[in-house]
Amino acid sequence: MRLGLFGGTFDPPHDGHLAVARAARDQLGLDRVELIPTRVPPHRHAPSASAPDRFAMVALAVLDEPRLVPSPREIVRDGVSYTVETLERLATQRPEVEPFLVLGLDSYLDLPNWKQPARITELAHLVIAPRPGARLALRGEDRPRLAAPGAHTSAGGPRRVFVLEMEEVPLSATALREALARGETPIRGLCGPVLRYVRKRGLYGVEETD
């Protein structure tokens, strides 16, 4: 099975996330793309919404999306969510799965700062989505130092790096949280069910409504 793994804080999940997940699913013929909210993200400040709320919002966002599924595989684990551990577990528990790790370009450029980046690239193919503000530096100090070319995934085949062909989506969860806190309307970039959930739960400083 070709499985996409798309991790993130999803605080909240927005149309940029959905565009990336759909493009990965369709362009790489993935059987399924899991959207995986992190419990405690290692690379950033604590999320605003709780892990159960972020999981619920991801589930609502993909409700009508074929082959996009919410996954609790990181929020059910204790402690910091390290991608390398998620991939190691998957390789042990389901060795038949061919994993494709989906990342926005900003995250890909940060990969050298993650735990065991070379091991990550041995365990999964990488699928990179363009993102406004992030540029791929082909030379120079910014270039991520990854495993040597020719490394193999645990499934045995050569590991590969794919770049998705898609329009950049100028959305970030940070900007959306700020817009929600300011009481801005309309809010663009959140699907209806997620926006209703945010209002119902009074997340991000939004006044609670029934």
> Is the sign of the CA dihedral 160, 145, 139, 102 positive or negative?
positive
In angstroms, give the least distance from the CB of 173 to ligand ATP. Answer: 3
CA distance 155 to 97: 7
Our CA angle for 12, 184, 20, nearest 5°, is 35
Residues that bind ligand ATP (CB under 6 A): 8-11, 16-17, 20, 103-104, 106-107, 129, 131, 169, 171-174
**Cα 203 from Cα 54, distance rounded (Å):** 10
Closest contact distance (angstroms) between CB of 187 and ligand ATP is 14
Instruction: CB nearer to ligand ATP: give 3 or 129.
Output: 129
- Give the nearest distance from C-beta 93 to ligand ATP in angstroms: 23
Residue 8 vs 210, nearer CB to ligand ATP? 8
Neighbouring CB atoms inside 10 A of 108's CB total 22
Name which of 17 and 159 has its Cβ closer to ligand ATP.
17
**Residue with CB nearest ligand ATP?**
104
Closest CB 127 distance from ligand ATP, rounded Å: 10
Largest CA distance in the chain: 55
